[in-house]
């Protein structure tokens, strides 16, 4: 009887060890690793009336389904001279939200002529409320919240961008 109890205790402890190891492995798979900035190009914002440069940013470009769906999710911060430019194949009404996005953002919608059509200012982190464009857009620029006011951006102001050669 004693041998059976000892065997059962050994089996239970091995099973317990295996379950803890398995739980640790599955927990580590659920942790989201922060995505870091990767410069894909440079973007300048220009005043419509004077064509003068307001600011120049290093940008990441989201132009495929994965990058467009992920955007700036899972990032803890973004430098003030960085942004993300979403490029869509055609101009149409757009709407973004802040699911899994830790950084408050200004979301700048631009038409196919690269003119600002609307700005959603100070989008709140993790807010899943729809933030639609006021007009059809082909481009969307995300920057840190408050920068559109700092730069005094207005409807009609423009952007130009170039991609880095990789």
CA nearest neighbour of 161 among 68, 73, 83: 83
Q: Which residues of 42-74 are buried (b: 16+ CB within 10 A; e: fewer)?
A: ebebbbeeeeeebbebbbbbbeeeeeeeebbee
Q: Quick one: pLDDT at residue 35?
A: 81
> Which residue is it, tokens 């065997």?
7
What does pTM read for this prediction? 0.80
Q: Quick one: pLDDT at residue 28?
A: 36
CA distance 23 to 13: 15
Region class of 74: left (phi > 0), else alpha (psi between -120 and 50), else beta:
left
Radius of gyration of the chain (CA): 24
Q: Could you list the pLDDT tens digit for every one of the 166 residues in the chain?
A: 545 444 444 444 444 433 333 333 333 334 456 688 999 999 999 999 999 999 999 999 999 999 999 999 999 999 999 999 999 999 999 999 999 999 999 999 999 999 999 999 999 999 999 999 999 999 999 999 999 999 999 999 999 999 998 6
């Amino acid at each position: 009887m004693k041998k059976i109890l000892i065997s059962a205790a050994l089996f239970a402890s091995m099973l317990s060890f295996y379950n803890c190891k398995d739980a640790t492995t599955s927990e580590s798979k659920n942790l989201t690793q922060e995505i870091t900035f990767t410069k894909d190009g440079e973007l300048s914002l220009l005043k419509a009336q004077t064509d003068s440069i307001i600011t120049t940013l290093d940008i990441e470009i989201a132009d495929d389904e994965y990058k467009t769906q992920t955007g700036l999710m899972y990032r803890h911060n973004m430098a003030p001279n960085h942004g993300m430019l979403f490029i869509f194949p055609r101009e149409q009404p757009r709407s973004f939200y802040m699911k899994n996005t830790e950084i408050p953002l200004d979301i700048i919608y631009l038409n196919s002529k690269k003119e600002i059509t609307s700005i959603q200012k100070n989008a709140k982190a993790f807010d899943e409320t729809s933030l639609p464009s006021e007009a059809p857009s082909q481009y969307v620029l995300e920057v840190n919240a408050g920068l559109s006011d700092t730069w005094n951006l207005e409807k009609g102001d423009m952007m130009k961008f170039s991609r880095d050669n990789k």
